[in-house]
Structure 1
Amino acid sequence: MSTVRIAAAAAHFGRDLEFDLARIAKVIDDARGSGAGLLVLPDAALGGYLADLRHPDPDVLPPALEPDDPLILEVARLAAEMVVCVGYREDGGTERYNAAVCVSGDGVLGRHRKVHLPAGEAAAYAPGDRFDAFDTPVGRIGMLIDYDKTFPESARSLALDGAEILACLSAWPTSITNRAPRMAQDRQARLFDLYDQARAAENQVVLASSNQTGALGGMRFLGQAKVVGPGGDILARTWAKAGLAVAEVDVSAEVDRARRTLHHLGELRPSAYRETSS
């Protein structure tokens, strides 16, 4: 794959699905105007995230959409020649999942259900059970949904499955228990950047990190969308405001360059590691 422009979005989405779809269409247009071949939209861009992470109200949860919901098919139509990743609450029959889907005008390219659930989210979602990379016109991609990236094993699993691009979709808020007077001093803001850079550098991959902005209920979201290179360097970012972080990357060449001398995946010693418990 030759050079591709990668766009990671910072934007606000709520419960109004018609509004959300209109905003997605606008962000796709903006990304297309920037020449992007890949756009990563935030977690819960269709229907919004939880309004309270500590005690979610079961009566005001995000709407659950079936995997082939017309809204998802419309995002695919809007994507056309682009590859677009978007998050939503999935109706899985007896369970509901915090989910992401990657689409183009040709249809669905890949799916992910969030595996790692923080305490409050477990009241609204069931956990997914796997990490799978998939091929797209812009390269092999793996998706993570916000808290997934806290765990190194998540990104490592995708890298071992051949992903050279990690799409990290988030609805990542400021600290709920220890609010800081300024965003730059917020613990969760620091961790959000740290995880993005660490997951890219330790796996020597390109990472596109999107996030919600604004507020929903008691939640205030960080923004801080960014594109990170395989050395952990931030190539583009939005800071706290809504917008697009856009970077042009020759993904395969940059990954190969990062792995030329020190090839982290090739130098793993699995026999020396303690197995994680189930």
Structure 2
Amino acid sequence: MTPVRVAAAAANFTRDLAFDLDRIGVIVAHAREAGAAVLALPDGALGGYIHDLRHPDPSDRTVLPPALDPDGPEVRAVAALAGDLVVCLGFCEAGPGESERYNSAVCLTGDGVLGRHRKVHHPAGVAGLFRSGDGFTAFDTPAGRMGMLIDHDKTFPESARSLALDGAETIACLSAWPTSLTNRAPRMAQDRQARLFDLYDQSRAAENQVLWLSANQSGRNGSLHFLGRAKIVGPGGEILARTWSKGGLAVADVDPDAAIGAARAVLHHLEERRPDLYRS
């Protein structure tokens, strides 16, 4: 594969879908101007995220972002903006029941949807608001085989490993990851959650020897202060490009085949596994 330019965004999104679509259009334009072929947008890029992780009231419908049809007009509008760009983004998906919701992600181009993911792991405070997805599946794109995770999914090594075992060479993790709720540091760079956010990004990339795109919300939403800190991580766990707390675009040139081949030339983590000795 020839080198590909990839991008991951840090940006703030709201309940105002028209505003969000305008912002997505601006970010897509910037990514296209930068020559990117793949763009990862944050979780909640359509409709924002919940306002309160400590005391969310499931009966209060204003707590949740608008529930969208994954094949509805908002997602189609993003596809029209994407054109030949591979774009991953998160949103709140309407479930089969009136009160059922999924925290979901979709990967698309102007030709349509390439892959989907429903968040599997929900942290305390969110578990009662969303149904869980039922697995991790990689999918083919013009930029190679990819997989997606959402937010808390990356806390669990099995999530990324499942995608890598399904052939994903690039994993996009779409987050709405805030600063610590219980012990917020005076400076964001010192915050416990900032440390964990970066640690998980680098660890999951290095463990699986894959290219990692980490997008995150920035700014404030209700009681939450999001970290930003979007980044591109190489298959050795090295940060190739990043943003900090404010909105921005992390952009890097990578040849996935060459980079992953080099990382796996001597130590090939997937082949060296001993699943016969692991407990299910």
TM-score tier after normalising by the smaller chain length: over 0.9
Q: CA deviation at 1:59?
A: 2.6
Q: 2-side partners of 1:198 and 1:28: how far apart?
A: 28
SS at structure 2 position matched to 1:24: helix
Which residue does 2:31 correspond to in 1? 31
Which residue does 1:70 correspond to in 2? 73
Q: 1-side partners of 2:73 and 2:120: how far apart?
A: 25
SS at structure 2 position matched to 1:8: strand
Aligned residue identity for 2:61: D
Which residue does 1:81 correspond to in 2? 84
SS at structure 1 position matched to 2:196: helix
- Residue 111 (1) aligns with residue 91 (2): no
Q: CA deviation at 1:219?
A: 0.3
Q: Where do residues 198-237 of structure 1 align in structure 2 (5 Å cutoff)?
A: 198-237=203-242
Which residue does 2:2 correspond to in 1? 2
Which residue does 2:147 correspond to in 1? 142
SS at structure 1 position matched to 2:8: strand
Which residue does 1:49 correspond to in 2? 49
- Residue 183 (1) aligns with residue 188 (2): yes
CA deviations 1:141-197 (Å, max 9, x no partner) are 000001000000000000000000000000000000111101111000000000000
SS at structure 1 position matched to 2:50: coil
TM-score, length of structure 2 as denominator length: 0.97
SS at structure 1 position matched to 2:127: helix
Cα RMSD over matched residues? 0.7
Aligned residue identity for 1:261: V
Q: CA deviation at 1:20?
A: 0.3
TM-score, length of structure 1 as denominator length: 0.98
Q: CA deviation at 1:254?
A: 0.5
Q: 2-side partners of 1:228 and 1:6: how far apart?
A: 11
Q: 1-side partners of 2:11 and 2:56: how far apart?
A: 22
Which residue does 1:92 correspond to in 2? 95
Which residue does 2:170 correspond to in 1? 165
Q: 1-side partners of 2:134 and 2:173: how far apart?
A: 17
Q: Which runs of 5+ in 1 are unaligned?
A: none
Which residue does 1:59 correspond to in 2? 61
Which residue does 1:155 correspond to in 2? 160
Q: CA deviation at 1:274?
A: 1.4
- Residue 252 (1) aligns with residue 257 (2): yes
CA deviations 1:210-267 (Å, max 9, x no partner) are 0000000000000000000000000000011100000000011100110000000000
Q: Which moved more, 1:11-20 or 1:86-95?
A: 86-95
Aligned residue identity for 1:228: V
Count the aligned residue pairs.
Answer: 275
Q: 2-side partners of 1:39 and 1:166: how far apart?
A: 12
Which residue does 1:121 correspond to in 2? 126
Q: CA deviation at 1:69?
A: 1.0
Q: CA deviation at 1:92?
A: 1.9
Which residue does 2:246 correspond to in 1? 241
SS at structure 2 position matched to 1:119: coil
Q: Which moved more, 1:51-60 or 1:88-97?
A: 51-60
Structure 1 moving runs of 4+ over 2 Å: none
Aligned residue identity for 2:74: L
SS at structure 1 position matched to 2:125: helix
Q: Percent identity?
A: 68
SS at structure 1 position matched to 2:116: strand
Q: CA deviation at 1:119?
A: 1.4
